[in-house]
């Protein structure tokens, strides 16, 4: 009998019985996990997150041997050992993170992206430079040779703030195109006009960002080893990976791997919620987490049954997102970690 009580998120994601439960939903497996979660309710957020990640990569369509997954995990561990926790936000290293070691988050994201790429990516991918990509199309090109951002207004109502030493190109008749395509070399901020029947694509080398209506920033200089997509509002899809406000996706060109992170300094994105309203007096913690999640557009995972008796009395005005989380968790005796751009709450509950 496996000791699931000591399992980490990585352990669950690699466990054959857990994967079978997620994929096949057999009654016997469902009964086991229902009973186990009743015995260990504090593990429910961990199970929910493991399920979410496995479902998001949809590995059931192509079987990947356990040995191959373990080899990839070992490779990631070795790489992380050589450069521990690079790319992780230092300010979110909390007691719980220190116990699991921050590399666990990197492994989970790395394995998830690897599984996704195995299913969705051809064995060989041709990387085209910006000049090569636009050479076969009749496009309007806008180049910023200056040292300050330059704004381009497109015919569909979208606008792009082009960074220094950056350039974009887009088609003639952009607003009537079935797909609104913009080619980018460098860095630019996009404010996209909504047009559900005319998707907005930003093409940067081997990465295409798909948008319906949102604001986001892309950094993709040809000399850089990574491509970065940062979302301010709305949602974007990068190679099937969904990004929401205050998230950043880093694509490593050499490894063809993805890493989704929460920003170092998340900002409030919901106009109807102000920082001044975040004052609580014996307020149910579910309501507090709900307002925080809506304000910042950040998904917060917790066990509502376990926390239904928890209340918060605190003045969170003027505090940063992470300090708000610190104060809330301190008030209810909980801890949190950030995995795959989301917040996971760990708690034994309140009496």
CATH number for 320: 3.55.50.30
Q: Is 67 exposed, middle or buried (0-12, 13-18, 19+ CB in 10 A)?
A: exposed
Residue 125 placed within a domain? no
Residues 115 and 218 in one domain: no
Residues 52 and 115 in one domain: yes
Q: What is the pLDDT of residue 77?
A: 56
Residues 54 and 78 in one domain: yes
Residues 141 and 222 in one domain: yes
Q: What is the pLDDT of residue 245?
A: 93
Residue 263 placed within a domain? no
Residues 324 and 215 in one domain: no
Per-residue pLDDT of the chain (351 residues; tens, 9 = 90+): 577 877 777 677 778 888 888 888 788 888 888 888 888 877 777 787 777 777 655 444 444 566 665 666 666 555 545 444 443 333 333 433 333 333 444 444 444 544 444 444 433 344 567 777 777 778 899 999 999 999 999 999 999 999 999 999 998 888 888 889 999 999 999 999 988 788 899 999 888 899 866 899 999 999 999 999 999 988 898 887 889 999 999 999 998 889 999 999 999 999 899 999 999 999 999 999 999 999 999 999 988 888 989 999 999 999 999 999 999 999 999 999 998 899 999 888 887
Residues 317 and 247 in one domain: no
Q: Is 113 exposed, middle or buried (0-12, 13-18, 19+ CB in 10 A)?
A: buried
Any idea how long the chain is?
351
Q: What is the pLDDT of residue 36?
A: 83
Residue 266 placed within a domain? no
Which CATH number fits the domain that encloses residue 197?
2.60.120.1440
Q: At what angle do helices 27-39 and 16-24 cross, to 10 degrees?
A: 120
Residues 282 and 237 in one domain: no
Residues 137 and 213 in one domain: yes
Residues 241 and 281 in one domain: no
| Domain assignment of residue 40, given as a range | 4-120
Structure tokens at 262: 């929460």
Q: What is the pLDDT of residue 70?
A: 63
Q: What is the pLDDT of residue 227?
A: 94
Residue 213 placed within a domain? yes
Q: Which residues contact 160 (CB under 8 A, 6 or more apart)?
A: 142, 151, 152, 154, 168, 182, 188, 189, 190, 191
The pTM score is: 0.64
Q: What is the pLDDT of residue 56?
A: 59
Residue 324 placed within a domain? yes
Q: What is the pLDDT of residue 268?
A: 94
CA distance 26 to 51: 15
Number of structural domains the chain divides into: 3
Residues 143 and 240 in one domain: yes
Residue 47 placed within a domain? yes
CA distance 43 to 66: 24
Residue 42 placed within a domain? yes
Residues 53 and 9 in one domain: yes
Residue 308 placed within a domain? yes
Cβ contact 322:91 at 8 Å: yes
Residues 198 and 304 in one domain: no
């Amino acid at each position: 009998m496996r000791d699931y009580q000591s399992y980490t998120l990585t352990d669950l994601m690699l466990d054959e019985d857990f994967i079978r439960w997620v994929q096949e939903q057999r009654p016997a497996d469902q009964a086991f996990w229902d009973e186990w979660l009743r015995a260990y309710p504090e593990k429910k957020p961990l199970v929910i997150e493991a399920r979410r990640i496995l479902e998001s990569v949809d590995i059931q369509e192509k079987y990947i041997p356990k040995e191959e997954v373990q080899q990839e995990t070992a490779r990631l561990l070795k790489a992380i050992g050589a450069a521990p926790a690079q790319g992780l936000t230092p300010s979110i290293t909390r007691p719980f993170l220190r116990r699991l070691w921050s590399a666990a988050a990197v492994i989970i994201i790395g394995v998830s992206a690897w599984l996704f790429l195995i299913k969705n990516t051809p064995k060989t991918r041709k990387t085209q430079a910006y000049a090569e990509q636009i050479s076969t199309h009749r496009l309007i090109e806008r180049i910023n040779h200056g040292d300050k951002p330059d704004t381009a207004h497109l015919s569909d109502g979208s606008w792009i703030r082009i960074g220094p030493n950056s350039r974009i190109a887009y088609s003639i008749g952009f607003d009537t195109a079935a797909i609104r395509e913009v080619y980018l070399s460098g860095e630019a901020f996009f404010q996209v006009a909504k047009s559900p029947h005319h998707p907005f694509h930003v093409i940067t080398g081997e990465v295409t960002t798909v948008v319906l209506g949102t604001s986001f920033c892309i950094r993709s200089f040809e000399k850089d080893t990574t491509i970065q997509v940062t979302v301010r509002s709305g949602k974007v899809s990068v190679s099937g990976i969904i990004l929401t406000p205050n998230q950043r996706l880093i694509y490593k060109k050499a490894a063809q791997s993805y890493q989704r992170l929460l920003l170092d300094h998340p900002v409030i994105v919901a106009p109807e919620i102000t920082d001044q309203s975040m004052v609580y007096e014996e307020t149910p913690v579910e309501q507090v987490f709900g307002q925080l999640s809506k304000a910042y557009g950040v998904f917060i995972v917790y066990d509502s049954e376990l926390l239904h008796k928890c209340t918060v009395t605190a003045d969170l005005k003027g505090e940063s997102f992470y300090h708000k989380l610190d104060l809330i968790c301190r008030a209810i005796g909980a801890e949190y970690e950030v995995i795959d751009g989301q917040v996971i709450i760990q708690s034994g509950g309140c009496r």
